Amino acid sequence: MEKNKLSEKRAYILSLFGAFFMAALGLGFAYLTHSEAILLDGVFSLINMLMIGLTLFVFLRILPVVNDRFQFGMAQAEPMINLIKAILFFCAVVFAIYSAAMALIQGGRMIDFGLGVWYALIASIGCFVIAAIIHRISKTSPSPMLDVEKQGWLVDGFLSSAVFFVFIVGSLLKDTQWNIYLNYVDPIMVLFISIAIIPIPVKIFKDNFFELLLSAPSVKVQTEIDEKIQGVFKDYPIDDFYIRSAKTGRYFTVWIMCLNNEQQPMTMSDYDTVRQELYKKFDVPTSKMYIYLEITTKPKIYEFEINT
């Protein structure tokens, strides 16, 4: 567990320094080339850097917290950070669309395609390398925050790749009859890229917003939970059971209300065995899963509990 935590911490530190480098690179080249596309890339990296710092703080200082005030821990901090990150990315995209539209109306803008090619090449390689490293770490240390981090670097990588491709084309057309249209290349590229990546922050926002509301997982996941619980309960005198489940960040909560056969009441030892079997069945670390098991032999109590 500590090894996984250390790996995740290293991923955030790598991401933080990578974002700082990409932000400085993007803003510097945006100034030299006068490109809104590169500026958008630099702003994305700058937002990413600020949010990674906040993510690292939450991971180290807030997620482990369990005290008198937050007696169930701070699992909700994780989707909250992802929610804020999605909002900031969305705002940056909307601003980029507005800026590109205004540039088109005003006749476009001339940029330095030669310098832009070098920027986009360095940025593309850097973003995809960092995304690959984070993906590798997330396989051994699964985390919703790491998943969002990886998606952020992939978005940045595809953005830089699109800039690279368009700048190559622009460089080739610079001395041809088509050079009269080069002023429109940068704003049009920003528009297309921005519209293409809008679904990503929207999806991140939606997923994490519903996690904050403790919404139930997908029907597929609920069916899997039901099947696993049935696999445990089939060996015990349980006539019926009812499940409520939720996922908040990396933590799962499953509440199970059981109706024990009145003629075959289970012992406390049976209850403990059932809980142990449930944790084994779900194959999730106990530190990341809370199973609340309630059992009664009274149908009236059972009906009351599942309807409140």
Q: What is the pLDDT of residue 105?
A: 87
Average pLDDT over residues 219-248: 87
pLDDT at 138: 85
Measuring CA to CA, which residue among 135, 134, 196 is closest to residue 163?
Answer: 196
As a whole number of angstroms, the distance between CA 123 and CA 160 comes to: 6
Q: Residue 129's pLDDT band (boundaries 50, 70, 90)? A: very high
Q: Which CATH class is domain 2-212?
A: mainly alpha
Kindly state the tokens that stand for 216: 């139930």
Fold of 219-306: Alpha-Beta Plaits (3.30.70)
In whole angstroms, what separates CA 40 from the centre of its chain? Answer: 21
pLDDT over threshold 70, residue 67:
no
Q: Do 245 and 222 meet the contact criterion of CB atoms below 8 Å apart?
A: yes
- Name residues whose C-beta falls within 8 Å of residue 111's C-beta, 6 or more positions apart in sequence: 33, 34, 35, 170, 185, 186
Phi, psi angle pair for 73, to nearest 5°? 80, -170
Sign of the CA dihedral with 74 first, then 78, 83, and 84 last: positive
Q: How far apart are CA 151 and CA 135, in angstroms?
A: 9
- Which residue from 173, 251, 167, 178 is spatially nearest to 211, judged by alpha carbons? 251
Higher-confidence residue of 223 and 178: namely: 223
pLDDT at 18: 92
Closest CA to 116 of 197, 172, 176, 192: 172
Whether residue 59 contacts residue 145, with contact meaning beta carbons closer than 8 Å, is answered with yes
Ordered DSSP codes for 55-68 = HHHIIIIITT---S
Binning pLDDT at 50, 70 and 90, where does residue 131 land? very high
Spatial contact of 129 and 18, defined as CB atoms under 8 Å apart? no
What pTM, to 2 d.p., does this model score?
0.72
CB 273 within 8 A of CB 280: no
Q: What share of the chain is helix, strand, coil (3-state, %, to 5)?
A: 70, 10, 20
- Determine the angle formed by the axes of helices 144-173 and 77-105, rounding to 10 degrees: 20
Structure tokens belonging to residue 91: 């705002």
How far is Cα 65 from Cα 255, in angstroms, rounded to an integer?
22
Rounded to the nearest integer, the mean pLDDT of the chain is 83
Helix (H) or strand (E) run with residue 102 in it:
helix 77-105
Residue 304 has pLDDT above 80, yes or no: yes
Give pLDDT, residue 285.
55
- Res 1 pLDDT > 80: no
Q: What is the domain partition of the chain in residue ranges?
A: 2-212, 219-306
The tens digit of pLDDT for each residue in 247-278 reads 887 778 888 999 998 888 888 888 888 888 88
Q: Per-residue confidence at 125, pLDDT binned at 50, 70, 90?
A: very high
> What's residue 33's pLDDT?
83
Q: Which residues pair with 222 in a beta bridge?
A: none
Polymer length of the chain: 308
C-alpha to C-alpha distance for 272 and 56, rounded to whole angstroms: 37
User: Quick one: pLDDT band at residue 21, thresholds 50, 70, 90?
Assistant: very high
Q: Is 60 exceeded by the pLDDT of residue 293?
A: yes
